[in-house]
């Protein structure tokens, strides 16, 4: 099946007389005839649902669609993108371990890694997404357990050289985890370029309507844990909390990662999607291929318009010829990049604030990747605690506006931008 067909048909195939739409199984628990059978479920010897803190049928149908879209073998939904990235890393790293991560990542992920997971005893080395292979190799340690990056970083809009990062990770016997939130599998499928685990904030384009916070983890089913058993004891030695199951043996290369994340992390942290949210996410997925193409076409037209405008001093968009990441975008995202653009003004910070105030169509919101165009002035909102010097050091100059292009008529958006630039 093509990607568009999978957006609509993946994961769920109703039988004769069954509902066309994914049913919302709004139940915390599931009934069984014998406690012997339930015992098998608890030992992971039989398949079935028992409690919606670990797994729910609605969530699993939607996860299966996302696994098919990414070309993976197994997937799980989580309550948010933050939970997805936390689980993806914590499933294979614990106190005393080390991770190599791109420094060009979502601010929430950077905080999760550098503050909260650091407190848990996991050490991170942050590298530039433009690192050479030699610089990457130098970041590994004997206790490194994974490499992490974002296909297109939010908000820096850098593009990850996925193949190069994957080759480096594999040369050191560890998987590459890629957060593919901004491109979605419509524009890039990181597994085809060597990524082993793919994560999403489904809150963004996958949902696409500002309706439900959510996340997803997809396993490529390609990383051979047993070949590096010394590095991954959690997958390759018995789990005493499940009567000694060895995930990599029992569930194989295709199933071990997601089964362990469900059985241990979802059991203990409970960061599960609600079935209602999974249903809303699925509605978004049904039109993902159509929406992403329109987001990108609108953003391309606006980026070109901004680049030619005398009051705009700089534009960052990987789909724009001359952008430092244009070549990598052509390689990994030939059909389009994303709908988010950042740009700055001749008049600096003050002009940025006046521009935002003057917009009539675009909403001011911290969100991105919504059907409705929205924009943010980080220096006066999300990053307002930083001084001008600190803003520049963080790659967020005071005049920067992050503009998330929606699905409205592009002529209306350009007219709105033009009158705000005039103001």
Q: Got the DSSP string for 79-130?
A: SSHHHHHHHHHHTT--TT-EEEEESSS-HHHHHIIIIIIHHTT-EEEEE-TT
Distance CA 122, CA 132 (A): 25
Sequence-ordered list of residues with C-beta below 8 angstroms from that of 196, at least 6 positions apart, any chain: 166, 169, 175, 176, 177, 219, 220, 222, 223
Distance CA 43, CA 188 (A): 38
**11 or 81: whose CB is closer to ligand PLP?**
81
Q: How far is the CB of 405 from ligand PLP (least distance, A)?
A: 15
- Yes or no: say if 182 and 104 are a contact pair by the CB < 8 Å rule: no
**73 or 181: whose CB is closer to ligand PLP?**
181
6 lines the binding site for ligand PLP (CB under 6 A): no
Q: Looking at 10, 57, 72, 81, which residue binds ligand PLP (CB under 6 A)?
A: 81
Q: Which of 67, 44, 414 is nearest to 218 (CA)?
A: 67
**70 or 150: whose CB is closer to ligand PLP?**
150
Phi, psi (rounded to 5 degrees) for 249:
-85, -50
Q: Is 258 left (phi over 0), alpha (psi -120 to 50) or beta?
A: alpha
Q: How far is the CB of 87 from ligand PLP (least distance, A)?
A: 12
154 lines the binding site for ligand PLP (CB under 6 A): yes
Q: How far is the CB of 150 from ligand PLP (least distance, A)?
A: 5
Q: Which residues of 302-313 are buried (b: 16+ CB within 10 A; e: fewer)?
A: bbebbbebeebe
Helix (H, G, I), strand (E, B) or coil at 36: helix
Distance CA 143, CA 164 (A): 21
207 lines the binding site for ligand PLP (CB under 6 A): no
78 lines the binding site for ligand PLP (CB under 6 A): no
259 lines the binding site for ligand PLP (CB under 6 A): no
Q: Looking at 58, 144, 181, 273, which residue binds ligand PLP (CB under 6 A)?
A: 181
Q: Looking at 11, 57, 215, 318, which residue binds ligand PLP (CB under 6 A)?
A: 215
Q: Looking at 52, 82, 91, 144, which residue binds ligand PLP (CB under 6 A)?
A: 82
**Total residues interacting with ligand PLP, rule: CB under 6 A:** 16
203 lines the binding site for ligand PLP (CB under 6 A): yes
Helix (H, G, I), strand (E, B) or coil at 76: strand
Q: Which stretch binds ligand PLP (CB under 6 A): 3-11, 77-85, 293-301, 346-354?
A: 77-85
Distance CA 51, CA 359 (A): 48
395 lines the binding site for ligand PLP (CB under 6 A): no
Q: How far is the CB of 63 from ligand PLP (least distance, A)?
A: 15
Q: Provide the H-helix boundaries in 147-187.
A: 162-171, 184-187
106 lines the binding site for ligand PLP (CB under 6 A): yes
Q: Which residue's CB comes closest to ligand PLP?
A: 81
Q: Looking at 52, 55, 73, 80, which residue binds ligand PLP (CB under 6 A)?
A: 80
* Residues binding ligand PLP (CB under 6 A): 80-82, 85, 106, 108-109, 150, 154, 179, 181, 201, 203-204, 213, 215
């Amino acid at each position: 099946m093509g990607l568009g067909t999978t957006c609509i048909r993946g994961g769920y195939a109703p039988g004769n007389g069954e509902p066309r739409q994914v049913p919302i199984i709004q139940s915390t628990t599931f009934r069984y005839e014998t406690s012997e059978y339930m015992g098998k479920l608890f030992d992971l010897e039989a398949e079935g649902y028992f409690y919606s803190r670990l797994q729910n049928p609605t969530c699993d149908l939607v996860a299966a669609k996302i696994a098919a879209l990414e070309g993976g073998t197994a997937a799980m939904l989580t309550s948010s993108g933050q939970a997805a990235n936390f689980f993806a890393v914590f499933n294979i790293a614990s106190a005393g371990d080390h991770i190599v991560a791109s420094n060009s990542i979502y601010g929430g992920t950077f905080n999760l890694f550098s503050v909260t997971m650091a407190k848990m005893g996991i050490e991170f080395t942050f590298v530039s997404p433009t690192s050479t292979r030699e610089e990457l190799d130098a970041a590994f340690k004997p206790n490194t357990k994974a490499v992490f990056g974002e296909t297109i970083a939010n908000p820096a809009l850098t593009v990850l050289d996925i193949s190069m990062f994957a080759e480096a990770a594999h040369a050191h016997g560890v998987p590459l985890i890629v957060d593919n939130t901004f491109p979605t599998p419509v524009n890039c499928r990181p597994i085809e370029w060597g990524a082993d685990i793919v994560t999403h904030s489904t809150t963004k384009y996958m949902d696409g309507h500002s309706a439900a916070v959510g996340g997803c983890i997809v396993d490529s089913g390609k990383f051979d844990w047993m070949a590096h058993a010394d590095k991954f004891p959690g997958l390759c030695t018995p789990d005493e909390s499940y009567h000694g199951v060895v995930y990599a043996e029992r569930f194989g290369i295709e199933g071990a990662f997601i089964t362990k994340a469900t059985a241990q992390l979802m059991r203990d942290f409970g960061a599960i999607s609600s079935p209602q949210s999974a249903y809303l996410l699925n509605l978004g997925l049904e039109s993902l291929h159509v929406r992403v193409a329109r987001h990108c076409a609108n953003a391309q037209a606006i980026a070109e318009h901004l680049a030619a405008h005398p009051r705009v001093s700089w534009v960052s968009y990987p789909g724009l010829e001359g952008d430092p990441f244009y070549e990598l975008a052509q390689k990994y995202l030939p059909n389009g990049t994303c709908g988010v653009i950042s740009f700055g003004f001749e008049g600096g910070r003050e002009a940025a604030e006046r521009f935002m105030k003057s917009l009539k169509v675009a909403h001011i919101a911290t969100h991105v990747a919504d059907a409705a165009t929205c924009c943010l002035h980080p220096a006066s909102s999300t990053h307002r605690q930083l001084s001008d010097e600190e803003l520049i050091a963080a790659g967020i100059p005071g005049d920067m506006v992050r503009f998330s292009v929606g699905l409205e008529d592009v002529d209306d958006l350009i007219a709105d931008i033009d009158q705000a630039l005039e103001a």
